[in-house]
Amino acid sequence: MTKWLVLPALAMLAGCGTNRPAPRPRGSKPVTLAIPTSRETQACYTDLSREAVRFSPLADRDYGGGCRVAGAVQLIDIGVPVTNLTAMRCGLARSFGGWVRHAAVPAARQMLGSDLVRVESMGTYACRNTVGTARPMLSGHAIANAVDVGAFVLEDGRRISVLNGWQSPDPQVRAFLRVLHDSACKRFGTVLSPDYNAVHRNHLHLEDDHKSFCR
């Protein structure tokens, strides 16, 4: 097929989007969206309640530039304190709660001999593009569908950070972080670690995008 045949086809594809409202630029004033809570989100709320997770549902908001928080919650108590959590899509919050409670808590106790007393996150929602990719695209953080985890604090006072622990001289510390990484790959769609690129040298990026991309 020559390009002269391809071009009209592309024009037709582009035309498919004309019914959608024009995207609002990034940095626009947030607009609260009056959309009914989806069945999927409602089922997720039920799952969180069943797991005894305390949370509050957040209003759906459009921040412009494709940045959008919909079907999101504010986690209040998942059993272990976690710093810096703001809006998370409910499915992400559910996977994250499960990972902390059923992977991080037992791994700390069994592998490091101390209870997990705090998880340090580096944030959830942020209206921004991906960093360190060849072609910048909207980050999973821009739709509140990703969380960055930087460190785990133990009852004995140790702070296991991704930055210092990933290549720690202590094999138990290295193994602890690898176990949490591998468990995350079973629970989240995209998991990025220091093995992926330098941007991720100090955190694990956990994203609920169903992509099976584990690095």
The residue (of 146 and 153) whose beta carbon lies closer to Zn ion is 146
The residue (of 123 and 158) whose beta carbon lies closer to Zn ion is 123
Bridge pairing between strands 213-214 and 190-192:
parallel
The residue (of 104 and 192) whose beta carbon lies closer to Zn ion is 192
- Chain positions 118 to 177 lying near Zn ion, rule: CB under 5 A, are 146, 148
Phi, psi of 85 (to 5 degrees): -90, 130
Q: Do 92 and 208 form a contact (C-beta atoms < 8 A)?
A: yes
Smallest CA-to-CA distance from 100 within 73, 82, 125, 113 is with: 82
Taken as a whole, the chain contains a residue count of 215
Q: How far is CA 67 from CA 35, 62, 150, in A?
A: 16, 6, 24
Residues 62-101: x/- map of binding to Zn ion (CB under 5 A)? ----------------------------------------
Could you give the CA distance from residue 66 to residue 80 in angstroms, rounded to a whole number? Answer: 32
DSSP-assigned letter for residue 208: -
Give the binding range for Zn ion (CB under 5 A) out of 5-13, 24-32, 40-48, 197-205: 197-205
Burial class of residue 8, CB neighbours in 10 A (0-12, 13-18, 19+): exposed
Nearest distance from C-beta of residue 71 to Zn ion, angstroms: 19
Nearest distance from C-beta of residue 166 to Zn ion, angstroms: 16
The residue (of 146 and 162) whose beta carbon lies closer to Zn ion is 146
- Chain positions 1 to 40 lying near Zn ion, rule: CB under 5 A, are none
The residue (of 23 and 132) whose beta carbon lies closer to Zn ion is 132
* Residue 205 touches Zn ion, criterion: CB under 5 A: yes
* Residue 181 touches Zn ion, criterion: CB under 5 A: no
Nearest distance from C-beta of residue 184 to Zn ion, angstroms: 12
Binding site for Zn ion (CB under 5 A): 146, 148, 205
